[in-house]
Amino acid sequence: MAQGHMIPMIDIAKLLAKRGVIITIVTTPVNAARFKKTLARAQESDLSIRIIQLQFPCEESGLPKGCENIDLLPSSDIPKFMNFFTAANMLQEQVEILFQELMPRPSCIISDLCLPYTSHVACFFCAFVLSVSIMMLLKALIPLIQRAADLASFGVVINSFEELEPEYVEEYKKVRGGKVSCVGPVSLCNKDILDKAQRGNDASIAEHECLKWLDSQEPGSVVYVCLGSLCNVPPSQLVELGLGLEESEKPFLWVIRRNEKSKEIEKWILETGFEERIKGRGVGFLIHGFAPQVLKAGVSVGVERPMEWGEEEKIGILVKKEDVKKAVDMLMDEGEEGQARRERAKEIGNMAKRAVEEGGSSYRLYYNAN
């Protein structure tokens, strides 16, 4: 599916394997390659994880060859997304054939909620299917969450922790008949720096370069800017974002997604001397490609105007450089308000760590379940 869906799935697989569960990851060749290194280390540490690759029906669905992940789509228009979801669910026949031969027979499927066919497969081949949700629970979304895969599944696994939004978790449990498990943040299972860095797409720099630059900055002084693997930001908006970061005069780590439009922003960076300007002043570090998974925490700054998926190009520049600078200044403010915000972020981070430590709410679901 997408990076933000696949990475937690791999982490959940490792956590379950540490409990002695035999794990089979069913994916496609392109996606398997993205996790080859981290899974190889898991297997070397005697975790029982095997990976089986199925052929993704690109051409049958009108997609370019090798387009096996949403971030590889040639454009972000709605028809292309629909073609991709159609192709993903065409894997059902291959999965059914695989399950007829798989030994030992699977007892449970943990599936993305965008793959509703897995619920039907589970009815024939195993006892349970669990739908994985990576979304934050919002009260307004609760009535809308029960999609096709959700309704047919035995339960829902959420990459969050109960202490973050206890009231909403409780309400969702009522909707789901109690079959809701908050097991995250699963990224915290990665203690080794390589396990954190070598997941998903490769970035244009080595992880040690990124960490070396971060170590040269004052603690708590760097702004981390990453819009994810699906956000289709027009080059004009990225330019405005870059100028705003530059004018803020704050150290920043900016991840620029590599896609069909990235050449335009790279051309702007070179022709205007942007990278040289920030390098000379020591206030910026650019990464071309998907975000390294070394960094997993941050504070979000948003805008009120909603944007429909695939409508980014029509809207154009939504946030001006002055607004970016203002947001960064507010975020990094050294006054009482800024300090309170950072303390709250640190508090939530500590809550997340406690949830996955021995005795924590997420830990108990993995290690105390029958």
Residue 149 and residue 24 share a domain: yes
pLDDT at 12 over 80: yes
Q: Give a yes or no: residue 94 inside a domain.
A: yes
pLDDT at residue number 293: 42
Query: Taking a C-beta distance cutoff of 8 angstroms, is the pair 96, 121 a contact?
Result: yes
The two most distant CA atoms of the chain are separated, in Å, by: 63
pLDDT value at position 127? 56
Mean residue pLDDT of the chain comes to 79
Higher pLDDT, 99 or 140: 99
Q: What is the DSSP string of 214-248?
A: HHTSPTT-PEEE--TTT----HHHHHHHHHHHHHH
Lowest model confidence (mean pLDDT) among 84-98, 134-148, 246-260: 134-148
- Of residues 224 and 229, more confidence is placed in 224
Indicate if the pLDDT at residue 303 is higher than 50. no
Phi and psi at residue 23, in whole multiples of 5°? -110, 130
Average pLDDT score over residue span 345-360 = 93
Tokens (6 digits) for 40: 């190889």
Rounding to the nearest 10 degrees, give the CA dihedral for residues 24, 27, 28, 34. Answer: -90
pLDDT band at 54 (very low <50, low <70, confident <90, very high): very high
What is the span of the domain harbouring residue 187?
Answer: 3-191
Q: Which of 138, 75, 84 is nearest to 112 (CA)?
A: 84
Paired strand residues for 88: none
Query: Do 128 and 33 lie in a common domain?
Result: yes
Is 363 within a domain?
no
Specify the DSSP class assigned to residue 251: -
pLDDT number for residue 199: 61
How many Cβ atoms are within 10 Å of 185's Cβ, its own excluded? Answer: 21
Q: Any idea of the CA torsion for 223, 229, 235, 237, to the nearest 10 degrees?
A: -50
Instruction: Note whether residue 247 is domain-resident.
Output: yes
pLDDT at 197: 60
pTM: 0.78
CA atoms within 13 A on the CB side of 166: 4
What 3 state SS string does 173-212 have? HHHCCCCEEECCCHHHHCCCHHHHHCCCCCECCCHHHHHH
pLDDT band (50, 70, 90) for residue 141 = very low
Which of 100-104, 146-150, 300-304 has the largest mean confidence? Answer: 100-104
Q: Does 254 map to a domain?
A: yes
With 60 as the cut, is the pLDDT of residue 204 above it? no
Mean pLDDT in residue range 178-185: 88
Same domain for 146 and 258, yes or no, is no
- Check pLDDT > 60 for residue 144: no
Percent of the chain at pLDDT above 90?
28
In a domain, 172, yes or no: yes
CB atoms within 10 A of CB 134: 18
pLDDT surpassing 80 at residue 265: yes
pLDDT tens for 56-86 read: 999 898 899 999 988 888 776 778 888 898 9
Give the pLDDT mean for 339-366. 91
Question: What average pLDDT score do residues 18-40 get?
Answer: 92
Could you tell me if 214 and 176 lie in one domain? no
pLDDT for 96: 92
Quick check: is 177 in a domain? yes
| Backbone φ and ψ of 52, nearest 5° | -120, 130
Better-predicted residue by pLDDT, 39 or 286: 39
Check which CATH number belongs to the domain holding 253 and give it: 3.40.50.2000
Do residue 178 and residue 49 come from a single domain? yes
Distance CA 175, CA 195 (A): 36
Structure confidence at residue 313 as a pLDDT band (50, 70, 90): low
The pLDDT of 230-253, averaged and rounded, is 89
Verify that 48 and 76 share a domain, yes or no: yes
| Catalytic annotation, residues | 5, 112
Alpha helices in the chain (DSSP H): 3-17, 29-34, 36-44, 78-89, 92-101, 117-125, 148-152, 166-175, 193-197, 207-215, 235-248, 262-271, 274-281, 312-315, 321-331, 336-356, 361-367
Tell me: do 135 and 243 sit in the same domain: no
Contacts of 85 by beta carbon, 8 Å cutoff, 6+ apart? 114
From residue 222, alpha-carbon distances to 167, 187, 251, 303, 361 in Å are 33, 21, 5, 21, 31
Kindly tell me if the per-residue pLDDT of 44 is higher than 80: yes
How many domains does the chain fold into?
2
Higher pLDDT, 323 or 280: 323
Cα–Cα distance, 370 to 367 (Å, whole number):
9
Question: Does 74 or 287 have the greater pLDDT score?
Answer: 74
Judge if 89 and 231 occupy the same domain: no
**Do residues 128 and 165 both lie within one domain?**
yes
Q: Confirm whether 105 is domain-assigned.
A: yes
Same domain, 81 and 213: no
**Same domain, yes or no, for 297 and 178?**
no
Instruction: Specify whether 209 is located in the same domain as 106.
Output: no
Q: Is the pLDDT of residue 227 over 90?
A: no
Give the per-residue pLDDT at 309.
45
Query: Does some domain include residue 354?
Result: no
What pLDDT does 94 receive?
95
Give the model confidence (pLDDT) of 341-350 as tens digits: 889 999 999 9
The answer, yes or no, to whether residue 330 has pLDDT greater than 50, is yes
